[in-house]
Structure 1
C-alpha cells in the first residue's frame, strides 16, 4: 500500500441521556486536551466533547425521572447483578479506560492501571451492598404496644451529581455507584477538563443491562450546567463534590438554589473557597450510600 499521509479523524463524543447518545441541543463542542507532560509540555488534542446546555440537563432529568420507579421496583438482587455486569464490561474495556485516565490525569501507565483496577473494584463493592444495606440500615423497632414498628430505607429519587474534576474515573465511580445501587437514578455532570473516562463509562452502561435513564451523563462547562441542575424542581438531591476545583463555580450559590425545593445536598470537602476534592483512594464506607436514602417507618398490628 502507498505510504500516503492519512486524514486526521477526530472523535466527537456525544452525551448519554435515556440510554441513547444524542448530540447536544446547543450544537456546540469543545476540545479535550491531554494533561501536559512536565512544566513545558504542550497539551495534546484527544477528542471533542459535547458542550451540554440547559435543555440537555432538562432532558436528562426527564429521562432519570421516567426510569426511577422501575429501577427502584427491581429486586435488590437484580440491581446488584445488573451493576455487577457493568464491572464486567469495564474490565473488557480496560485498555481504553487506562489510556483515557492516563491522558487526562497525566499518570504513568502503571499508575493508570492501578486507578482503573480500583475503579472496577469500587463498583463491585457498591454492587455487593444492593441486597445488604436494607438489613444494616433498617430493622424492627422495639415498641410498647400490640403492633410491629418496622423501619426500612428507600431511595430519594432523582439525584444530580457533579463528578469530581481531578479523579475522572475512580472519583466518578465513587459518586455514581452509591447513588444508583439503592434505586435512585442520576444525572451526572462529568469532569469539565477530563470527560473521556465518563464517556467510557457511558459506553459501558449502554452495552450492559442498566436500563436507559438510570444513569445520564452530560459533558460541558460545570459553571454553565450546574446551576440548572441545582434549581431544577424535579431533582430530589444533589451531590456537589465536583464543585471543588471547578472554574467559576460557587458551591454556596448552588446550595442556595437547591434549597428552593428542599433538595438534599451533599457538600464538597472543606469549606468556602477552600473546598477540596476528596481522597477517593481511601477505603469507602456507607456514608455516600446512606446520604441518598430516606428511612420510612411502618406500623402494623400483630396478629393473634
Structure 2
C-alpha cells in the first residue's frame, strides 16, 4: 500500500497561534523556474488588525522583561534554528533556487545574527543611554525605552530568511513587539521560523508574521493608530513615499527602505527606542 504524503500548510502566525487568513484566501508559491511549490495564506487587512491587537497585548510583558531575559529568549531561538538547520536549507534551495552551499550560508548567517543581537540585549542601554553633565546637586540620566508596536515590511525576494531576521531581531532586543509582512515570493522560511518562535520561549504576540501582498497590507499598517513605528526595509518595490505620508497622520516613526539586507548594528536596535530623561536629586541636604 502506497503511503500518501502529508503536504505542509503554510499559515499565518498571530498571537502565538497559526490561523488561516480570515478571508480564506491563499496564493501559490512558485520556484524560480515557475513550478508550483506550496500554497501560502494571503493575509487581509483584518488579519493585520488581529496581529496588531496581539502585538499590543504582548507589549507590556515583553518590554517589562529584563534585558538579560530577552537575551536568553533570543539565544534560544538561535539554538532551535540550529537544530532545524537542514529544513531551512532545503526550503531556501526550493524557494529561492539557491545552491545548497549558498542556502546553508544564509541559514548560518541568520543564526549568527540572532546570537549577535542576543548578546546586546542587556548591554545596549548602557551604550545608548547617558549620564548627562549638569550644574547642580542632581543627576540627569537618559535611558532608551521601546517605541512600542513596530510594523515591518521584510526585505522581499532574495535572502528571505536572513532579511526577516535582520529586521525582526533588533526590534525585539529593544523590547518592542512586531507585526512583520514576510517576503511575498519566498515566504516558506518565514512560516517555518514562526514554528521555531512558537516552540521557543518567545511569548505569543511578541512576533506576528503575515504572508501575502505588502502592497495590500502595508497601507493598513501604516495608517493603524495602534502601530507606533514602521520599518520599510523591504518596501523598495512599493510606493513607500505614500506609506510615509499615511504614517505621518498618526505620528509614527518611519525607517526608510534600504538596499539589500541590513547588516547587524547597534543603530538598528536604537532606531525604535524613545529616550527618557529623568532628574534625581543627589541629596536632601
Q: Same fold (TM over 0.5)?
A: yes
Per the alignment, in what secondary structure is the counterpart of residue 59 of structure 2? helix
Structure 2 residues without counterparts, runs of 5 or longer: none
Q: Hey, what does 1:13 align to over in structure 2? A: 10
Aligned with residue 248 of structure 2, among 259, 265, 272: 259
The within-5 A match list for 1:68-79 is: 68-79=59-70
8 Å Cα contact 2:148/2:176 also seen in 1: yes
Instruction: Give TM-score scaled by structure 1 length.
Output: 0.90
The CA RMSD measured in Å over matched residues stands at 1.3
> Partner residue of 2:206?
214
- Which residue does the alignment assign to 1:297? 277
Q: Which runs of 5+ in 1 are unaligned?
A: 37-42, 270-276
Displacement after TM superposition at 1:7 (Å):
4.9
* Structure 1 partner of 2:32: 35
Whole-Å separation in 1 of the counterparts to 2:14 and 2:261? 29
Q: Secondary structure at the match of 1:12?
A: coil
Partner of 1:139: 130
In structure 2, the residue matched to 1:199 is 191
Query: In structure 1, how many angstroms separate the alpha carbons of the residues matched to 2:66 and 2:204?
Result: 17
Question: Is the CA contact 2:232–2:240 (under 8 Å) kept in the aligned structure 1?
Answer: yes
2:228 aligned residue: 236
Matched with 1:278 is 260
Runs of 4+ in 1 over 4 A off after TM superposition: 6-9
Residue 287 of structure 1 is matched in structure 2 by 267
Separation (CA, whole Å) in 1 of partners of 2:261 and 2:171: 18
- Match for residue 148 of structure 1? 139
**TM-score normalised per structure 2:** 0.96
Q: How many residues end up aligned between the 2 structures?
A: 283
Paired residue for 1:40?
A: none
Deviation at 1:104, TM superposition (A): 1.9
Cα distance in 1, alignment partners of residues 197 and 5 from structure 2: 28
